[in-house]
Structure 1
């Protein structure tokens, strides 16, 4: 995936969120951004990286140490921060939180704006999440914004949440709704009505039109300004402070709609409308099938071209193998593993351990267990000096020789994992000689001397590929993996480590192995 404006343009919510964050950032506000799913947080994280906003992240995969560090980073400077101050010099601007993992037990009064990117079926969960900012110690007005896509299941969730809140208010005795007619409004209980609610709003004949845009950036900008202006408006009564701002209403000249108006609208549910929509959908599908036949004829010509390219690659591969045979070179690369059938089942025994020390001395941690040392390299073919290079050279000089020989024979590509088996007696400090060691060199960085910075950053897709190969090989040899903490930098780039840590836990559980991550203590 490549970052770019297409990330924002592909989603209506991100369009309005982009406008909101620009205005909130310029005014010095700070944000709590809640989402239900961690995959959504990944997308929002890419969006914040694209816009260069500073942020912290908290979800169920974040360890306690990182959790406390993120909270301290976000809340530490709240006492000296005013509304017109620059968030860039006062900690993170946005705190991304998964609702279930961070909706309870946190005090984040440094933020004065709460944005719900996704809503929960249980409205009390969102209310608890709102209390992270709206609590004792908060000195500013708190603005809560819920982003809901119209005519989708999200609106069904919102309407049912309102109905549940109204029921709880009636039971507890708080804010009793006087209008008894509202009890009959809202979404019905059957799943069929929820489906009709979304599908009947769309015209099946426009299903292939992906460029249709109702609302321009001016309307979105006006909507964002109206939402932010609500923070300081005092003309509403206490019961009317919850309002809806809809872009379609702005186009019609109506700026604000009360929630009661939203709930009392006639949804017009009936099964006939659903069946008619399905009939129109089937008719359009028939025409789209004809278009698919035309595309298949074009695809056949493309397949002929690709077959020629494949044959050329095959000849080049045979030529390379014959060259290797003539010089006596044997490739140490690991083939792509076959994922086990129970890959989705999380193992209980396989886990990731964090400790201080030197990853090139695994016998200090697991003396009787076969060990595999995992290290990252680039495509230059030049064995470096210092750090991991010197540590691996002390283990065996064959490691650097194998790496350089692979480069000489054009066997060094991104995503390759070279598995080097160390001979007996290579390590004088090894207590148990029966603990066989391997060194896995993961090629995850490209090297180009013409660039200003010749060595690129770690490529996460290639790193994930190498981790899968290493975990598979370790499982085949009943070994554990020992590696330094890679991909961690200060500032906003520390988000990269969150992704790597999730990958480690994934492969440790899939292949039922232990992975040890070492924090190296540098001498002062």
Structure 2
């Protein structure tokens, strides 16, 4: 059982307040199945993670610990995965919603855990590749290489897309971040690790938010599973009943079960769950693997169940499920009245504190802009304290009176090496334009070697920008060449009264998990960088020199034609000369 953090409680309470008329109308039968389903779904999203709702996450959004601290289940998952990763286990992580997988993926990126992902949007070829990658030799078998070196540590799976037909015995731990309405679906998902060839005991962990709609659903699932076992035995099938249809009576029972939630806990400042209690839960979960042995026993661990000595009470599963939300209408109505009184008391308290005006769209936009400005100022102060000066070019100011159809700017095609612009324009300031990715790792060969030969400051500035988080798609880093180059012939061609710069345009993303880690050139980002380079060239009375971008062996020229139009556009807007080089390779 996972506790709710303060943010979850506030969102959960706000949903109940908003849907209070529908909750009151339930006893009279006025509420429809669709309205009940919507209420339950919103509450389930709150139990998983509040960021599933738009506008909850902080603005401007930045990755950080707030992602973990916003969900009680994610706090426990964080501690569990840390223990499992250290001891060399492999994990299957199931969720019901793909948006939940997105949040879990952000978390895994934050913790730098290797992972694979499978959901309904994954193509068959990528699906098989992910399964092969995860099914490599277990990390436990290679202690010398350390944890998680021979395959992905976590396999994130959408229960509906990957809960049937897979063999993933490389994992020995299965974690359900969210539950399905049908307990057979989760049971089938568990069988992905319980297959022929599994040599380890499989530990299954079901994360449920205590005293919420999730616990009500879990109790009903337990009763359904027990009834199935009593009537038809184990009932373990590969296909099972995967019907997503939930009867109206089920929804009514789930709504009646909302009485487990105490609305007065919100007004009382309970605070976050103590980290020591969470650690105790995690230690007990990990210990279960060795205590269970070959038995298929089930245990329930709740941080709220603590003895006087501080020890957790572990409850085993019984042959009958005592909890039954049922159709206890009288206790439900009593809970609704209690909740209504608590809501009114909260409203009166807010009135005493003073009215709060809802932000208008203009005010909200101004608030977001102020937050971005403060974050930018904080970042600049940090860079200044560490001695880092950004070489990124600011947003260009487009000339108002410039005629785009004028002949003041020009585009030229020449043969030669664009890293030696002094041979073409010996008496001008020049900017060498080159495309790079956002990996922060300087490449080898081609333009990389040619630029590094010009000055060691170029790759150093690029890697330093990545170190300080100053490397984003659409950024243009302008680096001045001081003349201390390794190419003596180039030094002779550069006069002291003229200056050269190198403009590094970040127009490709890099992801080592992709088959082709480096993406194609992003044309919107390229246009953004060209506008910045052209503006810088106009400010410094310089010309731009660049290789032919977007021309792939003449097989697909459509991209190059787009780039050519952009070059002509910005050459005309800023009244500059742009030189595109055809490089003659030595035969």
TM-score higher than 0.5: yes
Aligned to 1:458: 473
Match of 1:129 among 189, 201, 205: 189
Aligned to 1:489: 511
Aligned to 1:222: 280
Aligned to 1:384: 433
- Please say if residues 219 and 251 of structure 1, whose CA atoms lie closer than 8 Å, have aligned partners that are also in contact: no
Aligned to 1:16: 76
Match of 2:289 among 218, 231, 246: 231
- 1:46 deviates by 0.8
Match of 1:277 among 323, 338, 343: 338
Match of 1:72 among 122, 132, 140: 132
Q: Which has the larger radius of gyration?
A: 2
Aligned to 2:179: 119
- Please say if residues 267 and 346 of structure 2, whose CA atoms lie closer than 8 Å, have aligned partners that are also in contact: no
- 1:222 deviates by 1.2
Range with bigger deviation, 160-169 or 113-122: 160-169
Match of 2:219 among 142, 148, 159: 159
Aligned equivalents of 1:132, 1:28: Cα separation in 2: 19
- 1:275 deviates by 3.0
Does 2:375 align with 1:328? no
Task: Spell out, residue by residue over 1:355-398, the C-alpha distance to the aligned partner (whole angstroms, 9 max, x if none).
Answer: xxxxxxxxxxxxxxxxxxxxxxxxxx97835799xxxxxxxxxx
Aligned to 1:360: none
1:84-103 equivalences under 5 Å are: 86-103=146-163
1:354-373 equivalences under 5 Å are: none
Match of 1:286 among 347, 370, 376: 347
1:228-267 equivalences under 5 Å are: 228-234=286-292, 238=296, 241-251=297-307, 253-260=311-318, 263-265=321-323
- Please say if residues 38 and 98 of structure 1, whose CA atoms lie closer than 8 Å, have aligned partners that are also in contact: yes
- 1:274 deviates by 2.3
1:185-224 equivalences under 5 Å are: 189=249, 191-204=251-264, 206-207=265-266, 212-213=270-271, 215-224=273-282
- Please say if residues 465 and 471 of structure 2, whose CA atoms lie closer than 8 Å, have aligned partners that are also in contact: no
Change (3 A) 1:328 1:230: same
Range with bigger deviation, 262-271 or 50-59: 262-271
- Tell me the SS of whatever aligns to 1:327: coil
Change (3 A) 1:382 1:191: farther
- 1:304 deviates by 12
- 1:278 deviates by 3.4
- 1:27 deviates by 0.7
Aligned equivalents of 1:143, 1:250: Cα separation in 2: 23
Task: Spell out, residue by residue over 1:229-282, the C-alpha distance to the aligned partner (whole angstroms, 9 max, x if none).
Answer: 1112157965xx111111111355452102228931476942332232233144
Aligned equivalents of 1:522, 1:106: Cα separation in 2: 43
- 1:293 deviates by 5.5
Match of 2:356 among 277, 283, 295: 295
- Tell me the SS of whatever aligns to 1:231: helix
1:338-357 equivalences under 5 Å are: none
Unaligned runs of 5+ in 2: 1-60, 236-247, 371-394, 406-429, 438-460, 476-506, 523-549, 556-587
Change (3 A) 1:133 1:306: closer
Aligned equivalents of 2:145, 2:270: Cα separation in 1: 40
Aligned residues: 346
- Tell me the SS of whatever aligns to 1:125: helix
Task: Spell out, residue by residue over 1:454-496, the C-alpha distance to the aligned partner (whole angstroms, 9 max, x if none).
Answer: 9723389xxxxxxxxxxxxxxxxxxxxxxxx964521389999
Does 2:103 align with 1:35? no
Normalising by the residue count of structure 1, what TM-score does the alignment of the two structures yield? 0.56
- Tell me the SS of whatever aligns to 2:101: helix
- Please say if residues 106 and 132 of structure 1, whose CA atoms lie closer than 8 Å, have aligned partners that are also in contact: yes
- Please say if residues 54 and 92 of structure 1, whose CA atoms lie closer than 8 Å, have aligned partners that are also in contact: yes
Task: Spell out, residue by residue over 1:95-129, the C-alpha distance to the aligned partner (whole angstroms, 9 max, x if none).
Answer: 10000111111111111000000011111111111
- 1:168 deviates by 1.4
- Tell me the SS of whatever aligns to 2:157: strand
Change (3 A) 1:9 1:261: farther
- Please say if residues 54 and 88 of structure 1, whose CA atoms lie closer than 8 Å, have aligned partners that are also in contact: yes
- 1:130 deviates by 0.6
Task: Spell out, residue by residue over 1:54-103, the C-alpha distance to the aligned partner (whole angstroms, 9 max, x if none).
Answer: 11111111112211111111112239835896333111111100001111
Aligned equivalents of 1:449, 1:254: Cα separation in 2: 49
- Please say if residues 55 and 492 of structure 1, whose CA atoms lie closer than 8 Å, have aligned partners that are also in contact: no
- Please say if residues 110 and 133 of structure 1, whose CA atoms lie closer than 8 Å, have aligned partners that are also in contact: yes
Change (3 A) 1:59 1:250: same
Change (3 A) 1:383 1:17: same
- 1:328 deviates by 2.3
Aligned equivalents of 1:280, 1:383: Cα separation in 2: 70
Change (3 A) 1:150 1:387: closer
Aligned equivalents of 2:102, 2:313: Cα separation in 1: 33
Aligned equivalents of 2:436, 2:64: Cα separation in 1: 35
- Please say if residues 259 and 335 of structure 2, whose CA atoms lie closer than 8 Å, have aligned partners that are also in contact: yes
The CA RMSD over aligned residues, in Å, is 4.6
- Please say if residues 81 and 90 of structure 1, whose CA atoms lie closer than 8 Å, have aligned partners that are also in contact: no
Aligned to 1:335: none
